[in-house]
């Protein structure tokens, strides 16, 4: 198959997308005076309305709250402390959502605000509640507008940036496409300063490699309004690809670009999905949960997990590290200490220390009870590449 045929085939799948997550950064929403650019935001809304009119459900992941609130506090042109950023976000989020609602309502649609922290997706019950909320809103024809809950978030529960947030939201809502709108036209295999005016970015990336990340240092926007650079976008796209989700990075400053992309036109850079994507649950385990400890396994258990797709049984565990409970995420380490998998433990660390190296049939006699034969079931175990 030729390169042109491959690109055309991949773009054809985009045409068939019925649910799209669109992420737009502050660099698109805010003008050079550090104020919301209503004309540009209005054009974005018109693009998203065009998708809705075409039967495509849309989730918008929108930055801009801090930038929207900063001018009202006289902080738009200076570095801000964390409390100042949080205050700006609290003030600006209301202005941002009021603007989105006004613009969408002109076309007969409504916008719903959803503010998330990493805690909301780490906790399985809250994760499922959020998923149900998204589904209900989309079924009712509402456009969910998502942002990180910047007014209360702290480092331990931050997504880090809205690129990462958008990838996790795309997995949560089971989208067909992640569309990242940036101030650059896509991914270039050279320094941005060397890109000629009419030069096109790389058309399609089959799989992100270390070579792509080597270019990222030269592709940061350098814009004080924005928080994420090319590296954060590539990391987000990797996460989406692992879920089986294609992504497109394109220039959000180009009028009408969103409908053109959904028509299959060759805008921006298309990043293909992995052919064997993770299930929604395994994507949640690997990208939303923070490991609370580790389990070291012997060579036999390593072979069973990696080559045969088996569960982790207590007999294959040689060491336990950390203080974790049943239901917490843990790292699975090979005999040499290399992390080979990540999963959810059915037992707490103190329980595993008692049953490690023993057969599953002996769990009840050792603990006085037996929840499961497996310490980590294969359905809750994700191999790392």
What is the CATH number for 351?
2.30.130.10
Least Cα distance to 183 among 241, 136, 226, 215 occurs for 226
Confidence (pLDDT) at 279? 79
- Same domain as 97, residue 147: yes
CA torsion 358-361-365-367 (nearest 10°) is 70
Q: How many domains are there within the chain?
A: 2
User: Would strands 293-297 and 317-322 be described as parallel, antiparallel, or unpaired?
Assistant: antiparallel
Confidence (pLDDT) at 156? 42
Q: What percent of the residues of the chain are helix, what percent strand, and what percent coil, each to the nearest 5? A: 45, 20, 40
For residue 75, the Cα-to-chain-centroid distance in whole angstroms is 29
**Sequence-ordered list of residues with C-beta below 8 angstroms from that of 106, at least 6 positions apart, any chain:** none
- Same domain as 170, residue 119: yes
Confidence (pLDDT) at 152? 62
- Same domain as 231, residue 143: yes
Strand partners of residue 344: 329
Strand partners of residue 321: 294
Domain boundary among 282, 301, 321: 282
Task: Give the number of other CB atoms < 10 A from CB of residue 115.
Answer: 18
Confidence (pLDDT) at 225? 45
Domain boundary among 244, 261, 282: 282
Strand partners of residue 175: none
- Same domain as 193, residue 61: yes
- Same domain as 31, residue 97: yes
Confidence (pLDDT) at 223? 45
Query: Tokens 């009419």 belong to which residue?
Result: 198
CATH number, domain with residue 22? 3.40.1160.10
Handedness of CA 295, 128, 241, 157 (dihedral sign): negative
DSSP code, position 314: G
- Same domain as 302, residue 208: no
- Same domain as 179, residue 232: yes
With a cut of 70, list the residues of the chain below it in pLDDT: 1-8, 150-160, 190-197, 215-228
Domain boundary among 265, 282, 299: 282
- Same domain as 125, residue 224: yes
Cα distance between residue 3 and residue 23, in whole Å: 28
Confidence (pLDDT) at 151? 63
- Same domain as 306, residue 267: no
Range of the domain at 162: 3-282
Helices (H), 17-148: 26-29, 38-53, 65-69, 82-105, 118-122, 124-139
Confidence (pLDDT) at 216? 63
**Sequence-ordered list of residues with C-beta below 8 angstroms from that of 213, at least 6 positions apart, any chain:** 231, 234
Helix (H) or strand (E) holding 20: strand 19-24
Helices (H), 243-279: 257-262
Confidence (pLDDT) at 61? 96
Cα distance between residue 273 and residue 248, in whole Å: 11
Confidence (pLDDT) at 218? 45
């Amino acid at each position: 198959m030729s390169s042109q045929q491959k690109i055309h085939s991949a773009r054809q799948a985009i045409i068939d997308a019925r649910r799209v997550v669109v992420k737009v950064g502050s660099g698109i929403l805010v003008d050079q005076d550090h104020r919301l650019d209503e004309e540009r935001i209005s054009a974005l809304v018109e693009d998203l309305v065009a998708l809705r009119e075409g039967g495509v459900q849309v989730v918008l992941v929108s930055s801009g709250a801090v930038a929207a609130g900063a001018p009202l506090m006289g902080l738009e042109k200076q570095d801000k402390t964390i409390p100042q950023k949080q205050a700006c976000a609290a003030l600006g989020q209301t202005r941002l959502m009021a603007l989105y609602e006004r613009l969408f309502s002109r076309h007969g649609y409504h916008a719903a605000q959803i503010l998330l922290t990493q805690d909301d997706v780490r906790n399985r019950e809250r994760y499922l509640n959020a998923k149900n909320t998204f589904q209900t809103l989309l079924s009712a024809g509402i456009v969910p507008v998502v942002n990180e809950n910047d007014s209360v978030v702290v480092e331990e529960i931050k997504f880090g940036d809205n690129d990462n947030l958008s990838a996790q939201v795309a997995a949560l809502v089971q989208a067909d496409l992640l569309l990242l709108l940036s101030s650059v036209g896509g991914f270039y295999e050279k320094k941005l300063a060397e890109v000629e005016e009419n030069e096109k970015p790389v058309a399609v990336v089959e799989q992100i490699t270390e070579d792509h990340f080597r270019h990222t240092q030269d592709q940061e926007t350098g814009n004080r309004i924005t928080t994420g650079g090319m590296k954060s976008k590539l990391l987000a796209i990797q996460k989406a690809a692992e879920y089986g989700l294609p992504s497109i990075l394109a220039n959000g400053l180009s009028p009408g670009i969103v409908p053109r992309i959904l028509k299959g036109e060759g805008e921006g850079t298309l990043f293909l999905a992995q052919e064997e994507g993770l299930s929604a649950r395994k994507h949640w385990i690997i990208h939303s949960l923070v490991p609370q400890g580790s389990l070291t396994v012997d060579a036999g258990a390593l072979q069973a997990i990696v080559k045969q797709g088996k569960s982790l049984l207590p007999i294959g565990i040689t060491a336990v590290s950390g203080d974790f409970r049943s239901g917490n995420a843990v790292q699975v380490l090979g005999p040499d200490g290399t992390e080979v998998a990540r999963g959810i433990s059915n037992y707490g660390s103190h329980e595993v220390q008692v049953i490690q190296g023993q057969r599953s049939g002996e769990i009840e006699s050792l603990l006085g009870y037996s929840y499961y034969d497996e310490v980590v079931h294969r359905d809750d175990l994700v191999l790392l590449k």
